[in-house]
Amino acid sequence: MSTKDYLEKDYYKVLGVSKDAKPDEIKKAFRKLAREYHPDQNKTNADAESKFKEISEANAVLSDPDKRKEYDEARSLFGGGGFRFPGAGQGGAGPSMDDLFRGAGDSGLGDLFGGLFGGGATTRRTSRGPRRGADIEGEVTIDFADALAGATVSLQTTSDAACGTCHGTGARPGTQPKVCPVCQGSGMQTSTSGGVFAVSEPCRECRGRGMIVEEPCPTCHGSGRSASTRTMQVRIPAGVTDGQRIRIKGKGGAGENSGAAGDLYVLVHVRPHKLFGRKGDHLTLTVPVTFAEAALGADIQVPTLDGGPVRLKIPAGTPNGRTFRVRGRGVKGGAADGDMLVTVAVEVPTHLTDEARAALAEFQALTGGRDPRAAMLGGA
C-alpha cells in the first residue's frame, strides 16, 4: 500500500468506524460490509465488486497493528499540509503531492526523508524491491457433519493483482516501459537548498516510478495493477468449530516484483444439527425415555453421527437429566477421539386411559404417597 493511498483514502470512513475503534469493532464492521457487498450476493450490481475491494483494502490495513500505526502516522504527518518541498510555493515547478507519493510508496517514509540531513548532493539510487501481497478474507458456511469430518469448499475472492493485459508492466501489449533518462531508474533525485540541506525527492520526469510508460495499457491505464476475482477450492480441516478463522498461506493477494503472495483467512460458520450438539471434542445428544424405562431400567438404541445406532443400558431408577458416556463416538482426528454424551429426558404422558390412570393411582398408594418435597419444605 503506497503512502499516497494512506493520505487520500480514509479507511475508517470506508468501514464506518471511529479512528479510535477497537480491533473487535473493526472486525465486526468489516464482516457486516463484506457480507453485504460480496460479489456472490450482488451478481447484478456492477459497483458491488469495487466496493468489496475497497472495504477489503481498508480491513487489510486497519486490522494489522503495524500497518494501522504506519497509516495513522502518515495521515498525521501530511494531513495538515504543513510540509513543503524545495521549489514549492515559490513560482517553481516543485513536485506535486502525487509525484511525492508515487516515489515514496514502495520504500516508505524513510526513503522520502533519507537525504534530508545527508552529507552532500549525491544522487542515491533506489530500486523497487519485492513486495508481499495483501492478506484477504473470506467466509464459508458448512454442515455440522462436514465440520467434524473436514470438507473441500469453493470460495470466491477479490484481490489486487498484476494486470492481466500488460502483466504488471503498465505498458500497452507489444511495448515496454523505458528507463527514466533523468534518474536512471532510481525514481528519486537529490537536490540541495542553500548548500545546507540535501533533500531526496521523487523524480519529476517519471513521477517517482523509475520507468516511463509512453503507451499506457488500456486496461489498467499504466498502473500495472487491477482487481482480480478468482474461485478456488479450499480445504477445511476436520474438527473445525463455528466462528473459527483458518489461515491458508500463500492464497491471498499476488505480490509485486516477485514478492510472495499474501495469506487467505477463512471465517468458518457451521450450520447446527437437528439432533447433535458439540462440547469441545465431544458430541452431545438428548434422548427421550419413558417413565417405566427410567424406573425399571432398559436397553435402548441411540443414533450416532458416523454410523448406525448403538446400544445404551439405562439402569433402574435413572433420574431425568442424567448423562451417559458412549466412548469414541465423538469428534475424531484429534489427539484422541471424543465421546458422545447422551442425556436422558424422562417423558411424562399427557393423555392417560382410565386403566393407566387407575394403575398409576395404585402405584402411588403402594409407594406410600411419599412427598419428595418434604425435606425442602422442612428446611425452609
pLDDT in tens, 172-183: 888 888 888 888
Q: Among 19-23, 27-31, 49-53, 141-145, where is mean pLDDT lowest?
A: 49-53
Phi and psi dihedrals of 357, rounded to 5?
A: -65, -40
> Cβ distance 189 to 204 under 8 Å?
yes
Q: What is the mean pLDDT of the chain?
A: 78
Q: Which residues contact 47 (CB under 8 A, 6 or more apart)?
A: none
CATH code, residues 277-370: 2.60.260.20
**How far apart are alpha carbons 291 and 293 in whole angstroms?**
5
Q: Give, in words, the CATH class of 1-80.
A: mainly alpha
The pLDDT value recorded for residue 56 is: 87
The pLDDT value recorded for residue 78 is: 56
**How far apart are alpha carbons 338 and 301 in whole angstroms?**
20
309 burial via Cβ count (<10 Å: 0-12, 13-18, 19+): exposed
**How far apart are alpha carbons 278 and 314 in whole angstroms?**
22
Tell me which residue of 132, 141, 139 sits closest to 157, measured CA to CA: 139
Any idea of the CA torsion for 169, 171, 172, 176, to the nearest 10 degrees? -90
**How far apart are alpha carbons 244 and 269 in whole angstroms?**
8
Give yes or no for residue 277 having a pLDDT over 90.
Answer: yes
Using a cut of 0.95, tell me whether the model's pTM lies above it: no
The pLDDT value recorded for residue 198 is: 61
More confident residue, 308 or 322: 322
- What cell was used for 285? 445428544
Question: Domains of the chain: which residue ranges?
Answer: 1-80, 277-370
Residue 118 pLDDT class (50, 70, 90 cuts): very low
DSSP structural state of residue 40: G
109 burial via Cβ count (<10 Å: 0-12, 13-18, 19+): middle
Q: Among 87-101, 224-238, 245-259, 289-303, where is mean pLDDT lowest?
A: 87-101
